[in-house]
Amino acid sequence: MKIFFENYRYPKDLMTKCFEGPGQEKILEPADRDGYTMTKSIGYLFVKNDRYDGPVFILPKTFLAEDINRKLTVFGLPGALPEKCIDVDSTENPLYSSRYDSFLPELGIWLYQALRRFYDRYKTTSIIDEAQLEYLAPQSDSIDKDFLETALRLVDFLRDHRNLFTQISLINHSGNARIDWTRTIARRTAYKFGGDMYYLDPCIKDKTINIDEELIVLYYSILRYLKKKYHFPIQLGEILYDLKSVTEIQNYIDNGTGAKTMQRIRHRYYRDDLKELWTLVNDFFSYNATKDDNKPIIEQTLVRNFNIVFEDMIDDLIGDPPGSISESLKRQKDNKLIDHIFRFRSLTSPRHDIFYIGDSKYYATDNDVDGPALYKQYGYAKTVIQDQISAINLKSDKPLNAPGTLRYRDTETEGYNVTPNFFIRPDVRRDNLQYDVPALSPTDRSYPVNKQFEDRLFDRDTLFIREYKLNILFVIYAYASEEDYKILLRNTIRQDILRFLNDNYEFYKIEADYVEVTTPHGKVYPTFLSYFYHILKGKIYKTEEYGEYILAFEKHPKDPDAKSKILTELSPYLKKPAEQFGLQDTIQ
């Protein structure tokens, strides 16, 4: 097995032996004057030519980092230069016999499954062309099988039929190692000690091999072969059979013994599950069994614009399902496409939803998003807000604040709900390489607030952008396995935005509702809001869930004196004893 990384410059001779043959002329970039080349593709190939025979994985550059000598290495490990880590099983590989030696092949297998799912989802659409995904496999009428796909079906069968093997094993081994007294008495010499008869060499009931066992032994032997030779992530569990060694299985493949054995036992099985297993094992042994050794064999699933695949992975993780309302908002009226938009609980009330707007950035670089990309993201939020105000709130048959609506504006205060807006980047947790841990967390980057007026949180032009990093191993695994983590990830984003707001704003509850206000000059205002409206515009919002006014001030405003003056005027109406009211409290 060979491992390469995208966009990394390798000496040309290290790459050409794995990347030459039909369909591969686009994989490598032209060599530079120093004799180095690279590939911008990511994915899987199975290569068979006169220089190499076996699987090749091209992994995202995200897994490379600078080491202490500022050289780009695998995970930033000293000395683990990518050109030294190509051959997984070489004892000269710096990762050999380390905790990372099996990680890269396992990652390649999960990545392959993710790319295949992307292909299956979009093979009839133009997005495949945009991503420049190339899927090349043997013809359907050929005896050749897709190596990795065949192997993965064998692994999946174990997952789906583990109880079958346990049942067969118990049946086949029940009664083994029991004494056959009839044969023992007839054939063995008895010895008498103290009145009792003893047989020192009894005959044992060793059952001959069951017709099921030969197939199951071959199957488990293949799984162990895949686990040891190709580092497949397989949990074999307890095995009650004597399995064939990796060398024996390799010989079964090379000299055709495996294919012949499968034909010999072909008609033994009548159960559907065992017939299916026979087909899978036969496919494995028949892989390229009758090929012309002089003809190069190429299988590949490669994508050149991995950012498009990454975007789909993130959207599958957090986005709304196809056909939902938010799906129609992804392509805006100016034909701009929002990466991610989903409907979820509002920041101010669980009774109403709001749209969360996200943009995925494939590379985990140290650079902030700026310029057009930043303002484009703010523009997406403004367009969605306007769409909801005009197309839903003003034209809907439902009352403006009815349960189940998307509540963007409070009609009484004319305050606008806070719209969640974020970037999301891939992250590699080099100290803890786990596939089942999202590790979704905010980065330390901060972006300028889009606003028209100072210190107006509940103004429609006041928009924030948060940025998150997400474990890319989790992204690949969750996408490939089709696990549903939407609620978990959405809640994480929501809670972070609430923490961010509480860190940057002071929140107050106002006890007054329809309280008549009399000014020092004797003028009477029918409600609290009617008197203070001119100084509270954009600073106040009424929650529909609790019927409470929320007042917000920046903790560090540009004009602290103006803030103090307003708070002094409002002090009789501020809820006591809690001076600070966190938005987070409203969702309890």
Residue 410 near residue 339, CB atoms below 8 Å: no
- SS3 (DSSP) at 214: helix
Supply the pLDDT for residue 580.
Answer: 47
DSSP alpha helix (H) spans, 287-341: 306-318, 325-330
Q: Are residues 474 and 514 in the same domain?
A: no
Q: Are residues 375 and 461 both part of a single domain?
A: yes
From 257, 286, 315, the end of a domain falls on: 286
Domain-ending residue, one of 256, 271, 303: 303
State the amino acid at position 483 in one-letter form.
E
Q: Beta-carbon neighbour count of residue 398 at 10 Å?
A: 11
**Claim to verify: residue 453 and residue 579 sit in the same structural domain:** no
Kindly report the pTM of this predicted structure.
Answer: 0.82
Please name the amino acid found at residue 212: D
Please give the helix or strand (H or E) that residue 567 lies within, else none: helix 560-570
SS3 14: helix
Claim to verify: residue 255 and residue 358 sit in the same structural domain: no
Of 466, 481, 503, the position where a domain reaches its end is 503
Structure confidence by residue, pLDDT tens digits, 68-118: 888 999 988 889 999 999 998 888 999 887 878 788 888 999 999 999 999
In a shared domain, residues 483 and 393? yes
Digits of tens for pLDDT over the chain (588 positions)? 899 999 999 999 888 888 876 656 678 888 888 899 999 999 998 877 777 878 899 999 999 988 888 899 998 888 999 999 999 888 899 988 787 878 888 899 999 999 999 999 998 889 999 999 988 765 544 444 567 888 888 888 888 887 776 666 555 555 555 677 777 777 778 776 766 776 667 776 654 445 568 888 899 999 999 888 877 878 887 777 789 999 999 888 888 888 899 999 888 877 888 889 999 999 888 765 545 555 555 688 999 999 999 999 999 999 988 777 777 777 766 667 888 999 998 888 777 789 999 999 887 566 677 778 888 899 889 988 888 887 655 555 554 445 556 778 888 888 899 999 999 999 988 777 889 899 999 998 888 899 888 889 999 999 999 999 999 999 999 999 899 999 999 999 999 999 999 889 988 887 666 566 666 666 666 677 777 878 888 998 887 666 678 889 999 888 889 888 888 888 877 775 444 455 555 433
pLDDT tens digit sequence for 484-515: 999 999 999 999 999 999 889 988 887 666 56
**414 and 369 in a common domain:** yes
229 with 337, same domain: the answer is no
Q: Are residues 75 and 34 in the same domain?
A: yes
Distance CA 179, CA 132 (A): 67
| Cα angle value 142/148/149 (rounded, 5°) | 65
Concatenate the DSSP letters of all residues of 279-300 into one string: HHHHHHHHTTTT--TTS-EEEE
pLDDT in the model for residue 283? 87
Query: For the segment 242-297, what is each residue's pLDDT rounded down to a tens digit?
Result: 899 999 998 888 888 888 999 998 888 778 888 899 999 998 887 655 455 555 55
Contact between 226 and 233 under an 8 Å Cβ cutoff? The reply is: no
Which is it for strands 53-59 and 2-5: parallel, antiparallel or unpaired? parallel
Are 197 and 124 part of one and the same domain?
A: no
The total of other beta-carbon atoms located within 10 Å of residue 151's CB is 24
Q: Is the domain of 326 the same as that of 372?
A: yes
Can you tell me the distance from the alpha carbon of 258 to that of 371, in angstroms, rounded to the nearest whole number?
Answer: 61
- Total structural domains in the chain? 4
Specify whether 498 is located in the same domain as 524. no
In tens, the pLDDT along 321-344 reads 877 777 777 776 666 788 899 999
Tokens of residue 311, six digits: 């975007």
DSSP 193-211: ETTEEEESSPPB--PPPPH
Structural domain boundaries, residue 211: 147-286
Tell me: do 478 and 529 sit in the same domain.
no
